[in-house]
Structure 1
Amino acid sequence: SYMCDVCDFSCTHSHKLNLHKRIHTEEKIYKCEDCGKCFLLFARLREHIMIHTGEKVYKCEHCGKHFMLFKRAKVHMTTHTGERPYTCDVCGVGFG
């Protein structure tokens, strides 16, 4: 197990610890060439770039609607499936 020496984060792979440590150092190595905004993770830069290009790569399996962000596509798909992936801690009611 790999442990962060700044906080209580731990993980089983050294590369995940190295990524985590960037939170403390604010090291952001992935930079958008269009606007200069920087990111800790390449995946976040890739999502950000779609704002500039207007590209919508995530497609709803049910209706074909496209989204820029995976999480927005996933939330949208719950309108077709009726899935309620989140539960209120207070009352226990599910929501999407």
Structure 2
Amino acid sequence: MCDICYKWFVQNSQLDVHVSAVHYNARPYSCMLCNNSLRQKERKTRTWSHVNDTRKYQCPYCDKTCRKWYDLILHIRAHTGEQPFKCCMCGRGFVQMCDTHKHEMFHFKPVNR
């Protein structure tokens, strides 16, 4: 079980990848086609996205385009400053609900004395 978000995994190796990639944003791998950094090892089935890279969602504030509608929503919030998710303890705002949950966990950590 992940000590940070309490998600369960079948294997310890899956937990290790989860913690480093999700909670510490580690990107130790790189794509063989474009050399972008990746969180997980590249799978052969994923390489099709380079061939079919349709980015149909255009940002109204800049030239950025996104593959997914929700990715565009998150990007637009960077322009507008919208932070619709609030911490239940301190009221701090966040762009994504998962970031709010991660932040709220810090309120419940024991204080080292």
**TM-score scaled to structure 1, two decimals?**
0.57
Aligned residues: 64
Displacement after TM superposition at 1:29 (Å): 1.0
Structure 1 residues 4-59: Cα deviation after superposition (integer angstroms, max 9, x where no partner): xx61x7xxxxxxxxxxx6x3411111110110201111111001101111111111
Say yes or no: does 1:50 pair with 2:80. no
The residue that corresponds to 1:71 in the other structure is 98
Where in structure 2 are the equivalents of 1:1-96 lying within 5 Å?
7=45, 23-24=49-50, 25-82=52-109
Aligned-residue RMSD, C-alpha: 1.9
What is the deviation of 1:70? 2.7
CA distance in 2, matches of 1:70, 1:47: 11
What is the TM-score of this pair, normalised by structure 2? 0.49
- Which structure features the higher share of strand residues? 1
Tell me how far apart the structure 1 counterparts of residues 62 and 106 of structure 2 sit (CA, whole Å). Answer: 34
Give the partner amino acid of 1:33: P
Q: Percent identity?
A: 30
Instruction: Output the amino acid matched with 2:86.
Output: K
Shift of 1:78: 1.1
